[in-house]
Amino acid sequence: MMNLKNEKDGAKPLIVQSDKTLLLDVHAPGAEDARAAILPFAELEKSPEHIHTYRITPLSLWNAASAGFSPAGVIAALEKYSRYQVPEGISAGFTDTMARYGKILLRAPEDGNAGAAGVPEKLLLAPGDEMVEKEIAAAKTLSPYLTKTKGGFSLKLTDRGTVKRELIKLGWPVRDEAPLQQGETLALELREKALSGRSFAPRDYQLEAARSVLGQGGPGTGYGVVVLPCGSGKTIVGIAVMSLLKTNTLILSANVAAVHQWIDELLDKTSLTQEQIAEYSGGAKSVAPVTIATYQILTWRPGKEADFPHFSLFRRYPWGLIIYDEVHLLPAPIFRVTAELQAVRRLGLTATLVREDRAEDAVFSLVGPKRYDVPWKDLERKGWIAEALCIEVRLDLPENLKVPYAVAGRREKYRIAAENPLKEEAALELAANHREDHILVIGQYISQLESLARRLKAPLVTGKTPNTERERIYGAFKRGEIPIMVVSKVANFALDLPDASMAVQVSGSFGSRQEEAQRLGRILRPKKNKNSYFYSIVSRSTVEEDFAANRQKFLAEQGYRYSLQHWERPEERLS
């Protein structure tokens, strides 16, 4: 087995393996430089205490190629930082994969035919060679959209995204250099001092992320995805992009609470007025130069076979920028309309590109390639997000539930384990031991949460809580009037509670990595001289342990230490 320990000072930090995994020794000299060098072409998989694991995939290499990296540049970076000789033959794989990006070019046809906003009504798909052209011509999934013409294939502007998505499924990422429309001009400046009274300036990494998406403004720029941890200010990245482009903007968000947070941030930190910002949701459907809509209202339709009536919001107005907040949650129906809107600049914001439906390639082709990424622990070390201590609390099932659990089906087993009534006792004890913290108690099952809210004498927020009541409770929590709040899955998405310093997770969605990232993010806003605590309460010797292991693995991969504690009833401790 390879010895990963440094044999002497000055040992290089990177180990390159033939399966395209990269092991980064974070304690070796030059580790930070090595991390910065490989981040453009390798995806971070795990970042525990000592050795971080990156993987080079076709998608990560296409991301690199879209950012201007060459195979030679990738190999040069590996050779510069590799502790051992880079495996033979690995460079050929990089060259073959990266050569696929740019082999097919999408651009405006030479004969013009400019339509609205200077964008052609027809585009030209130009394959790089005869064999690629024959493969495209033979693809049945592409035949409804493409017409053979001089120099390649002609397609409608509205089919631009659909064609790109079908081609990436075939292993051909398209270099899209077709024009982007400008949208209507919008006067927008960042305030030097926010209306809330605090000095305001985007952090260096937020500006760097914004500029990475816009590039130099030439072909192939103006769209992409920024990956930043929860609590690190992704909203500010979006606002920074808006200030650079100064154009009408449509922002899509996860829920009404997120809509209101965007509105509050825009009014607080930019020159925009209330009249220039509109909410488009279930409760209000107005439109302004900056409009913030929910995914839920856009994907509503009167029946399964009916059209989506609110999709007209995308098409009827001269948007110059669309921001997809929490892009990892982008509903599948919106992929369809996003495919039509390829002439509009696009920004995706997310804490994790992990999608439970494995549709990361759709995000790449329709929203754009990843332009910026930074590990959670890097921002923690610099003080931009709080240090979090992750603890799993395990407890037994009560005797009266052991037989029902044993004879239940797998799904019912999970519910019995998740709603273990002893979890309430443990949650109450944790709350009593952390009286100085602002606590979120988070769960999946409403009856369990209702009982916890009664016993904790805390307000409960679920998907059925009216928005006005929800905002009132959030406000009281922010002001410190309420020390504990019980919340359902609404806590997973865009919940801005900067003073929350502890989360107690009593049940969740079958070990979802995505959910774990979102829930942890609720407590990552930095606090002065204070850590954050993330507790997960799990029923011992049940299927819940299996799902908890999946969540634990995710947190360990992000670099968080994860400890186990066993909880017993007070009377058992005395026996």
The letter for the amino acid at 163 is: V
- CB-based burial, 189-199: b 16+ in 10 Å, e otherwise: ebeeebeeeee
Separation of alpha carbons 86 and 89, rounded Å: 9
Average pLDDT, the chain: 84
Question: pLDDT per residue over 200-253, tens digit each?
Answer: 889 999 999 999 898 876 666 888 999 887 778 889 999 999 999 999 999 998
Report percent pLDDT > 70 for the chain: 86
Residue 430 CB coordination number (10 Å): 20
Question: pLDDT per residue over 48-64, tens digit each?
Answer: 778 888 889 898 898 88
- Give the residue-averaged pLDDT of 121-150: 92
Confidence of residue 478 (pLDDT cuts 50, 70, 90): confident
Strands 532-539 and 502-505 turn out to be: parallel
Confidence of residue 187 (pLDDT cuts 50, 70, 90): very high
By CB atoms closer than 10 A (0-12, 13-18, 19+), residue 358 is exposed
Residues in CB range of 311: below 8 A, 6 or more apart:
298, 337
**Terminal Cα distance for the chain, rounded:** 47
Question: pLDDT per residue over 379-432, tens digit each?
Answer: 877 777 767 778 889 999 999 999 999 999 988 998 999 999 999 999 999 999
More reliable by pLDDT, 267 or 380: 267
At 521 the pLDDT is 61
Question: pLDDT per residue over 490-523, tens digit each?
Answer: 765 556 666 788 889 898 765 455 555 566 666 6
More reliable by pLDDT, 167 or 339: 167
Separation of alpha carbons 128 and 115, rounded Å: 27
| Residue among 342, 359, 346 nearest 160 (CA) | 342
Which letter does DSSP use for residue 284 in this model? Answer: -
The letter for the amino acid at 13 is: P
More reliable by pLDDT, 193 or 131: 131
Strands 147-149 and 152-156 turn out to be: antiparallel
pTM for the full model?
0.73
Confidence of residue 563 (pLDDT cuts 50, 70, 90): confident
At 459 the pLDDT is 95
Task: List 279's β-bridge partners, or say none.
Answer: 292
Which letter does DSSP use for residue 118 in this model? Answer: G
At 558 the pLDDT is 62
Strands 388-395 and 562-566 turn out to be: parallel
